[in-house]
Structure formats: structure tokens, C-alpha cells
Amino acid sequence: MSEAKELKEVLEFGLALGMSVDEALEDGFGWQDLVSLVPPMTKLPAALDGLELVDDEIANLDQEGKAELAEVIEKLELDSELTEEIVEQSLITAVEIGKLITILRKAKKQE
């Protein structure tokens, strides 16, 4: 999936976040578990940078890229529906933040 660099970065963020949330929820989520969310959040800037290219990357995936994408997604075996919901909402939020960043970059170029 090397031709889908931006998509891969978004997926890496989602996978890292999902695993951290699962781990944090094992014994009941507490404030101390926020520390375990820091490592996946370090992947967020890479996931957001170039986010506007993800739709095109998905559309242009060849069979090999689609198979590799399916393998990555299959690795995301989360322990609970709540974790899945948290990760899904986090990815949606990341996409929306990425869109906002794109709009702000366009506005800055027009100055």
C-alpha cells in the first residue's frame, strides 16, 4: 500500500488508538489511562497531514493495495463495541479536523 501513504497513516492512527482504548478499558477507564492514549496521539499529525488525499488514494487502489488494506483492517480486532465506537468517532473527528486544516491552508494562501 505504498502508493496510499496518507491512507496508511490514518489507519495506523486508528489501529494505535483502538489498541490503547482496549487496554485502557480492560480494568475500567480511569484518569491514569489518559497516559496510554498519548502514543497514538503522536500519530495524529501524520494522519491529518495530507488527509485531503485519502479519498483519491482509496479510489486509485489496485487489487494488491485493496488486499493489503483488508489485512490492515482485519488486524483491528477490538474487544468491545464501545471501543469500536470510540475509534470510529475518533477517525471521523480526525477527518473533520483535516478538512478544517485544508480550508485554513487555502484561506492563508489567499492572503
| Model confidence pLDDT, tens digit, residues 63-106 | 887 777 777 666 666 667 777 777 777 777 777 777 777 788 88
- Percent of the chain whose pLDDT exceeds 90: 0
DSSP assignment letter at 45: H
Is residue 55 helix, strand or coil? Answer: helix
C-alpha to C-alpha distance for 98 and 93, rounded to whole angstroms? 8
Q: What's the number of domains the chain is made of?
A: 1
Kindly report the pTM of this predicted structure: 0.63
Say if residues 39 and 13 touch (Cβ distance below 8 Å): no
Q: If you search the block for the grid coordinates 478538512, which residue do you land on?
A: 99
Cα 46 versus chain centre, distance: 9
21 Rama class: left (phi>0) / alpha (psi -120 to 50) / beta: alpha
Give the domain range for residue 68: 2-109
- Percent of the chain whose pLDDT exceeds 70: 91
User: What pLDDT is recorded for position 50?
Assistant: 79
